[in-house]
Amino acid sequence: MSCGTKTLKVSSFVLDFLCCVLAALTIAACSYALITFSHSAAIRVPCILGIVLGSLLFLSTIFGCIAALRENIRMTWIYAVVMLALIFGQITVIFAQPINYELLANETIYDAWQGQLYNQSRMPYYEIKYHCCGQTGPSNYPDSGLRVPQSCYFNQNATVATDLYTVGCDQKLAAAFIKGTRWERISDWSVVGVETLTVIIAGLLAIALQNVERRRRY
C-alpha cells in the first residue's frame, strides 16, 4: 500500500471517529431538549428528527470505520453513498424543520404563568434573569387578581416605581432564544461540513484501493 493510500485510510478513520462523536453529541443534545421542554410542541419534531439522523450517523460511522480498517472497496463506496444521503437529509431538516424559538418561548412562559396562577412561583426565575414582568406585561398580575411581585423590579426593589420591568417575559425569552440560534446554525453546518469532508475522503480512499487492487492483477 502506498503512502498516499495509508494517509487516506488514517484520515478516513479519524473523520469517521469525529463524526461518531458529533452524532453522539447531537443525540444527547436533542434528548436533553426533549426532556427539558417536554411540554413544547415547537421542538418535538426537529429534535426527534435530530435523534433519528444522529443515530443513523452514529451507526454509519461505525460501518465506515470497519470499511476503512478492512480496506474493503465495496463497503467504503456504500458508506460514502449512505453518508451523502444523510447530508442531504440533514440539510433538508435544517431548512424545512427549524426550531420555532418564538413559539418555544411562548409555550415556556405560558406554562410558567399557569403555574404562577396556582401559587407555584415559577415566574420569578424568568423575571429576575431576563428583566421582565408577567407573561405579556406587568398588567397580567392585577388582571389576575395578584400583586406585582418584587421579582418584577430592578434589584427586586419594589419601592421605586420606575424600576418596574414593563416588557413581558414571552418577548424577552424569545429574544434570548433567537440570539442562541446562531450557535445552533454553526453547530449544524459544522456537522454537515465534517460529513462532507468524510464523504470526499471515503471516495478518494475507495478509488485508491481500487487502483491498488488493479495493480495487483498485473
Q: What is the mean pLDDT of each run of 10 residues along the chain (218 residues)?
A: 75 90 92 85 87 93 88 90 92 83 88 85 91 94 92 89 92 86 81 92 89 72
The region, left, alpha or beta by phi > 0 then psi within -120 to 50, assigned to residue 134 is: left
Residue 3: predicted pLDDT = 64
What pLDDT does 218 receive?
Answer: 59
- Enumerate residues 6+ apart whose C-beta is below 8 A from 148: 133, 138, 141, 142, 158, 164
| pLDDT for the residue numbered 93 | 86
Classify residue 189 as left (phi > 0), alpha (psi -120 to 50) or beta: alpha
CATH of domain 103-171: 1.10.1450
3-state class (DSSP) for residue 1? coil
What's the pLDDT score for residue 183?
76
- Give the pLDDT score at 122: 85
Contact 211, 14 (CB under 8 A): no
Cell triple for residue 179? 440570539
Distance CA 78, CA 199 (A): 11
pLDDT for residue 157: 86
**What's the pTM?**
0.77
Task: Give the closest residue to 104 by CA, choosing from 46, 29, 52, 23.
Answer: 46
Residues 6+ apart with CB under 8 A from 161: none
- Residue 153's φ and ψ, nearest 5 degrees, are -115, 150
φ, ψ of residue 195 in degrees (nearest 5): -65, -40
